[in-house]
Structure 1
Amino acid sequence: MNPSGPSGPASDSRNTRRKLLLVWAATALLLLGLVTLAVVRTGPAPGTDFLAGPHDQRPAHPAAAPGTHAPEPQASPAADLDAEIQRILAENSGYRIGVALVDTHGGEPRSYGDGSEFVAASTAKIITAAAYYHLVETGEKSLDVPLGSFDAAFQVKAMVNASSDDSWLLLMQDIGYPTLIEYAASIGISYDPEQNMLTPAEMALLLRQLSTGKLLNAEHTKELLGYMQQTNNERLIPAAVGPDVTVQHKYGELEGYVHDAAVLTSGGRSYALAIYSWGEDGESEERLAVIHQLTEAVTGALLS
């Protein structure tokens, strides 16, 4: 007798039912998996943190294409200019230098280096010229009256365009020191002609007021700014600008002080720039080079 022989019908039935149960169970598991996947796929938007682990967040911006680099944040022109001016000043620390820059269309002046008072030298002649024109406009003075060997109009032009100290003295005496101090105060400048001290920022703001017609009428504004072009010394700021930039300026030199202050205009943009400096060498090539570098930094950033 062989106990391991073929099974009977009952045994075959049991085996069939067992196989069917296994198939049904597998089918149920498959259906449950499909339902779960559908729930997950229709869940919260992937822009949220839901279901996203710490290393599975979507980037805020699309990733750069393979082989390329995301663009670096660009510094603003103003920040670049600030850094360049600071670099020039640091490399020339043997000089005492103050720089002020202001948009003639508005805004506060930006100051660099030494912002305290300097002996203004001949840059302050612009205050005297503006004061005299103002008195002409109020009827207290005339450009046609004799003053020294010539008339007042001649003395104003000689003082500004040729930087004549004799003309300056004649005009200040004719105005009177108290009146000159009062006029300067009326335009926001604390100025004593006997001390002749100004900050670079005061000079820049003076030029902004002049160039925008805040000080004088249109005729006198044009005339005075005209005297500030093609002066007897164009070696400072004017020598460092391109042909597309108009320069109206007043320089000053006295016992180690070398200054220049200018209105720079190109393509509808206009800035007042004042550079005051002191050193042992006067108007040396080294000093001129510093003023040229500062001017080129400003015009390159703002007027190019």
Structure 2
Amino acid sequence: PATIAVKGNAYQVIDASATAASLSGMLASGQNAPVAVSTKDFSNVELYEGLPASGTIEEKLQQLFGDADYEVAVYDLKTGKSKIQIDADTAMASASTYKLFIAYSMIHAVETGQVTWDSALNGMTLSSCMATMIINSDNSCPEAWLARYGFSTVTQQAHDIGAANTNFVPYDMTTTANDLATVLKGFYSNSIASPDSTDQLFSLMETQVYREGIPAGIGSDGVVQDKVGFMDGLLHDAAIVRSDKGDYAMVIMTDGSSWNKIAQASLLIYESL
């Protein structure tokens, strides 16, 4: 395929190991304290190498992902208008992107007075559990939440906010790119949670440690608040992208691809907007 000119952006990314160590230290101390976020320099110049240049954005993404299974949903968050739809209603194993729906369930429970952020869950406060779940994709806290409230309850909560194709079943949790975009849009508009709660969640998403996908592709062109999922051959990234071109919900779900391809896809999508 044709390639485009190399430009690249130098920027900083989260140093996953150092930040995870800081988070572990905070949790071990038993105190709910700020976590030091370590960064390191990164350049996305290599993402431009071999990047498809001809065709529509849909054709470019097909060239990029090749034989891998993938789905994409992109929405303008100011207008609500759909910008890109590629198999976005096809159910796929959610991997850890399901934690966005657990985050909603936790926030809903707090805002309806069922629990507080200081309530105990899995030997921590609910606030600390939320942090570990989003920042380093810990599994024990969301599993404890599901054990307490039930798979059917969280499924119904997802359906209630419009994520009709998301289902929580033990060992078989599925969602779609459009459903992930739905929960992101709900948080962004504060239609499913208060501004204080969404500010807390977005802060965690902005500092989550797995940033080789959409954040690497956007680089210094914007701020990315995202939640990834990875399991076996599945690699997913569900993001709020705040950029000079506007604010967007961008969801890329793949099976049989790579983080580098997801980063390249987010770069292609950004440049098409």
Q: TM-score range by the shorter chain?
A: 0.7 to 0.9
SS in 2 for 1:242: helix
Flag structure 2 segments of 5+ consecutive residues without an equivalent. Answer: 1-52
What is the Cα deviation at residue 155 of structure 1? Answer: 0.6
Say whether residues 1:199 and 2:176 are aligned partners. yes
- Could you tell me how far apart the structure 1 residues matched to 2:54 and 2:116 are? 44
Deviations 1:155-184 (A, max 9, x none): 111111110011110122233223212211
TM-score, scaled to structure 1: 0.67
Match of 2:119 in 1: 145
Match of 2:227 in 1: 250
Preserved contact between residue 73 and residue 88 of structure 2 (Cα < 8 Å) = no
TM-score, scaled to structure 2: 0.74
Say whether residues 1:301 and 2:258 are aligned partners. no
Match of 1:122 in 2: 96
- Counterparts in 2 of 1:189 and 1:254: CA distance versus 1, 3 Å: same
Q: Which has the larger radius of gyration?
A: 1
Say whether residues 1:239 and 2:216 are aligned partners. yes
- Could you tell me how far apart the structure 2 residues matched to 1:263 and 1:219 are? 17
Give percent identity, aligned residues only.
24
Structure 2 counterpart of 1:259, from 219, 222, 236:
236
- Could you tell me how far apart the structure 1 residues matched to 2:82 and 2:215 are? 24
- Counterparts in 2 of 1:91 and 1:298: CA distance versus 1, 3 Å: closer
- Could you tell me how far apart the structure 2 residues matched to 1:109 and 1:298 are? 9
Name the aligned partner's letter for residue 192 of structure 1.
N
- Could you tell me how far apart the structure 1 residues matched to 2:70 and 2:54 are? 16
SS in 2 for 1:160: helix
Q: Which has the higher contact order (CA 8 A, sep 6+)?
A: 2
Preserved contact between residue 186 and residue 193 of structure 2 (Cα < 8 Å) = no
- Counterparts in 2 of 1:268 and 1:235: CA distance versus 1, 3 Å: closer
- Counterparts in 2 of 1:114 and 1:201: CA distance versus 1, 3 Å: closer
Match of 1:87 in 2: 60
Deviating above 6 A after TM superposition, structure 1's stretches of 4 or more consecutive aligned residues are none
What is the Cα deviation at residue 142 of structure 1? Answer: 1.7
Match of 2:49 in 1: none
Flag structure 1 segments of 5+ consecutive residues without an equivalent. Answer: 1-79, 280-285
Preserved contact between residue 89 and residue 113 of structure 1 (Cα < 8 Å) = no
Match of 2:150 in 1: 176
What is the Cα deviation at residue 130 of structure 1? Answer: 0.8
Match of 1:292 in 2: 263
* CA RMSD, Structure 1 to Structure 2 (Å): 2.0
More strand by share: 2
Paired residues, what number? 217
